[in-house]
Structures are given as structure tokens and as C-alpha cells.
Amino acid sequence: MKTVIMAALLAASPAFAQTDDAPWYPSTYGAEDEIGAANLLTPENVLSAKDLITTGKTYALGVPVGRNTPGFGSRELDFTIMMPGQEGGRTLGSNAMSYVDDMIVGWVGLGSQIDGLGHLGIDNHFYNGNTPEDYVATTGLTKMGIHNVPPIVGRGVLLDMAKLRGTDVVAEGELFTLEEVQQAVSDAGLTLSSGDIVLFHTGWLSVLEDEPQRFAGGEPGIDATSAAWLAEQGVVAVGADTWGLDVVPHPDGTLFTAHQELLAKNGVYILEVMDTSGLAADGVTDFFFVLGQPRFEGAVQAFINPIAIK
């Protein structure tokens, strides 16, 4: 199962194709910037977003992740549970202390996750024009590590694409056009603002439990056109209840053009495998969003469980 996503992409993809030739670096935030659209996070946005809390209801947006969670390429995750030094029922100290620990061996980019700005690029050029020689080391990124990302707190916006399409689950390979994305914003009665966090609800996550190989083999989503428009609105992060945000397979055979537009060109973070079902069921369109990701030093990505509060 772990190779299903990669196999599906390779089967659908042509040779490399550049998205466009327009210059996109250095960043508008400065040639040395490492946090991209996180520069748009302000105390004023947080204070404004707190007024969206009207009921106090909380929604966990992360999903459980474990040995059987399907992942891109060879990604997998194993837990080993141990009671060190306590073999045969031994205890520690005169007070008979016992404890249980766990060790993780696996990939960080699995399940609910945030993609950092060093994750995906265009022809070996990443955010702010960095090349692998500039920042990639086996011991950790020397730039754009996930530990640099500040807390992402502000207004969350849910775009219910399943409702727009009149279905519970939008099928794999279904591309949301820019017009549909803009219609979803209009249907929510909102206007996107600087500092917003946008999440797409497609219903695709519901496929994971009963059909994990289908879930991992494709997904509905956006492409570079909608991604560019979202970045122009000043959003800090874009996520979805899918494993990769982009439509897979793309009708024209390209790969992760929304990732390229958001991460590399605009420094906008991507949130994957977000559980938006509760928000959609309650008809929530905007909410208080809180994310403090693990600060793994030099990491490309991180496991996350953002919280939506309404």
C-alpha cells in the first residue's frame, strides 16, 4: 500500500514541465526570508479572529496516524513500545517506579502534516530560489526548517467543495476550477483576507477507512491557477481533507502544480489530511484556527493536529 500514491503519479505523469517562465524569486519578503507567508501573521489578525468564537466548540483537524496509514512513495511509520530496564517485571527505585516509553522509526510527512517551505520546488529551485546545495543536508535543513515556523493562529475558512458539487464525496481526479473556488468563497458569505488559513472539504477523507488503497491512489483538488489566486489574497496556509491538496491525477498530466505555486513561489504553507468533516457537518464557514507544530530542528515537515474553535 505504501507505494500506491507514487505508482499512481508515475503512471499519470509526463516528463518534467515548467509551470511558467515568469521570475518568482527573490521573495517579496526579502532574499534571505525563510518563513514566507507567515510574515502576514499579526496580533491584529489574532484579535479579530477570536471574535469568531461563539460556542466554544472545538474540532480536532488531525487524524490518527500509525503503521497502516498510507503515504506518498515509501513513507511509513512504526512505533516500538518499551519498558527499558524493567525486564521480567523489574521496577526502579525503592518506590517501585514503572514506566513505558515509545520510539518512532519512520517518515515525518505522513498523515496530518504541514509542508514546510523547503519541501517542494521547481526544477531544483525552492522557496526564495534556494537550491538543494544551499540548504539540504542529511542532518537537517540549514534553511527553512520547520522549527522556524511561528505559531499559525488566525481566521480559518472552510470551503465546502462537496456541497458545491452536490455530493458527499468528490471523486479522485476531479479538478476544482478557479471559478468554483471563488464560488465556494461567495457561498460561504466571506471575502478572503491577509493572514487567513483556507481549508477545502471534499469528503475524500471518508474513503480512507474502508478503501485505503483508493484513498492513496488519487484525490480531488486544485491546481496552480487556484493556488495562485489564493496566494494573491494573502492566505498563510491552504489545506484539505486529502493527502496532497492537488488534484491527482491532473487532467493534463502535470504533478503538484499547486504545491509549486504555494510553497516555492509564494511561501504559503500546505496542510494535508485535515479532518474537516465536523466543520462541514455543522455548517461552519469561518472559525478560530490554532496551530503550534512540533519544532523538529531542521525538519522539512511535521505531524500536526490543528484545532478549530467556533
Span 182-196, pLDDT tens digits: 999 999 999 999 999
Nearest to 295 by CA among 153, 141, 154: 141
**CA distance linking residue 113 with residue 243, whole number of Å:** 9
Among 3-7, 76-80, 121-125, name the most confident range: 121-125
* Cβ atoms < 10 Å from Cβ of 235: 26
pLDDT at 72: 83
> What is the phi/psi pair of residue 61, to 5°?
-95, -15
Amino acid at 150: P
pLDDT at 258 over 60: yes
Helix (H, G, I), strand (E, B), or coil: what is residue 181? helix
Domain limits, the chain: 4-65+109-309
And the C-alpha cell for 226? 487556484
Cis amide bond preceding 220, omega within 30: no
- Among residues 227, 158, 154, 221, the alpha carbon closest in space to that of 187 is found at 158
Residue type, 247: V
Cell of 84: 527499558
- Residue 113's pLDDT band, with cuts at 50, 70 and 90, is very high
Residues in the chain, total: 310
| CATH number for the domain running over 4-65+109-309 | 3.50.30.50
For residue 4, is pLDDT > 80? no
Res 227 pLDDT > 60: yes
